[in-house]
Amino acid sequence: MSVDVAGPERYNTEKLAELEKHIDNQVVDRTYQLDANLALLRLYQYQPSRINLNKLLRLLVKALMQLPSRDFQTCLYLVPDHVQAEEAVANLVMLARHLESCRFKDFWAAVEIQRELLNSVPGFYDAVRSYSVQVLTTTFQRISKTTLSELLKLDGMGLDTLVSAKCKSAGWSIAPETSGSVIILPKTEENHPKAKQSKDTKHIGLNQVMKMAAI
């Protein structure tokens, strides 16, 4: 269920309570409405004394779950500096930077500082792993299960289930010569770039080659 924030309604301070409740609804229902969340942040800008830090943090977590979109940075831009200096917000920004920079091991090493908040938002870790898999698929042609486990903070049956699902739906496969320890990822333009032919040499004919050879 979405909230109408079209036109002048987005600046109606009487909608603040409704928009805050909508944050909780998005968390429970696993939905997401960026325009409503931005409307809430703008109302907080106009009435900083009414900022609810708990609602704000949950809003930012939902935005972070949208990676690789820039929603988190878009939302953060509307958060006043003094609120960004709050420890809980600053910690969340640090985690976001780890993810945005693809420092996945650093993210998992630091996640404990916001464990309670992140655990309160269903689907957060699944969203992070989904984003991580997108990045890894465009980066690697092959990856060991050990490395994948470390980057996704997933092992045992959880890791096996993910790999099996990707083999069925995303073109992953197991390198047969590795006894299941290495995963082959599908070729993409990013992880398997084609050699580009130089414009200067593309149309060089036999006569030109002969002339250059004679120099």
What pLDDT shows up at residue 3? 82
CA torsion angle 168 171 175 180 (round to 10): -30
- The pLDDT score that the predictor gives to residue 212 is 40
Which sign does the torsion angle of CA 161, 184, 148, 135 carry? negative
What token pair was written down for 164? 């099996």
Residue given tokens 């997108």 in the structure block: 134
DSSP assigned state of 192: S
Look-up: residue for tokens 């993409």? Answer: 188
* pLDDT for 188: 78
- Long-range CB pairs of 115-120 (<8 Å, 24+ gap) are 117/57, 117/58, 117/61, 117/88, 117/92, 118/61, 120/27, 120/58
Q: Find out whether the peptide bond into 8 is cis, omega within 30 degrees of 0.
A: no
Task: Please list the rounded mean pLDDT of every run of 10 residues in the chain (215 residues).
Answer: 72 85 96 96 94 98 98 98 97 98 96 95 97 93 94 94 92 84 86 61 46 40
Q: What is the pLDDT of residue 177?
A: 79
Rounded to two decimals, the pTM is 0.85
Find the length of the chain: 215
Q: What is the DSSP letter of 194?
A: P
SS3 for 19?
helix
How would you label 98-116 residue by residue, b for 16+ Cβ within 10 Å and e otherwise?
Answer: bbbeeebeebbeebebbee
